[in-house]
Amino acid sequence: MRADLALQELLEGNRRFVESRSIYPNQDIDHRRKIVEIQQPSAVVVTCSDSRVPPEIIFDQGLGDLFVIRIAGNILNKHIIGSIEYAVKYVNVPLIMILGHENCAAVDITLKNIVTDSCIDNVFETIRQNIGEIDLSQEDILNIAIKKNVDTVINDLKSSSIIISELVNDDKVKVVGAYYDFKSGIVDIINKQSYCSFSLSS
């Protein structure tokens, strides 16, 4: 499945979810038996661990349809990158989506410079580096920071993985940034430029 078609199917599934027309595909016993030996997901979705952001539900997908990687703040580390590499190289997934969401607590706490003296501070530090210098006086600063975090994660993929870069350059994989709105249920594509020209970046 090509990346364009994979993205179209995700957005169509999201529309069904938004309009309360979900069809809950690929969950019956026959399908479960079919995927015992092989998986053929259409997209990798890297998103937050937030319990309100389950990709299979908000995109109305079924078992085996998505390769989901979840971590607070939808950030990268070597294990996340390795998991993405596995999906695109060995499972032949054509689309990578980095999905941020409204009111992300991990980004919010980062903006407030809260220190917990625990392992989660590593998450906040990564997000802090991702959003960089940002004008805290801007209206809607939280959502601005959330989207900037998504953009940085996409850019970091370009410089962190030879496997992903080569597949993108060969037009076998595309990467897209997205944002999920809790109230409406809508997933918006927020990094169209990256989706169109990712392979041309150095």
* pLDDT score of 166: 94
In sequence order, what are the residues at sequence separation of 6 or more whose Cβ sits closer than 8 angstroms to the Cβ of residue 44? 66, 67, 68, 69, 84, 87, 88, 93, 95, 96, 97
What is the per-residue pLDDT across 99-136, written as a single tens digit (0 to 9) for each? Answer: 999 999 999 999 999 999 999 999 999 999 999 988 87
Where are the chain's structural domains?
Answer: 3-200
Within its chain, how far is the Cα of 181 from the centroid? 14
Residue 194 has pLDDT above 90, yes or no: no
pLDDT tens figures, 62-95: 999 999 999 999 999 999 999 999 999 999 999 9
Domain made up of 3-200: CATH architecture: 3-Layer(aba) Sandwich (3.40)
Provide CB contacts within 8 A for 116, sequence distance 6+.
Answer: 124
Over residues 23-50, the mean pLDDT reads 94
DSSP 179: E
CB 193 within 8 A of CB 115: no
Query: What does residue 64 show for φ and ψ, rounded to 5 degrees?
Result: 80, 0
Q: What percent of the chain has pLDDT over 70?
A: 94
C-alpha torsion sign, points 115, 121, 127, 129: positive
> Which range in 20-34, 52-66, 124-138 is most confidently predicted, on average pLDDT?
52-66
> The pTM is what?
0.92
pLDDT for the residue 1: 63
Residue scoring higher pLDDT (93 or 193): 93
DSSP notation for 110-162: HHTT---SSTHHHHHHHHHHHH-S--TTSTTHHHHHHHHHHHHHHHHHHHH-H
So what's the pLDDT on residue 195? 45
Report the chain's mean pLDDT, rounded to a whole number.
Answer: 92
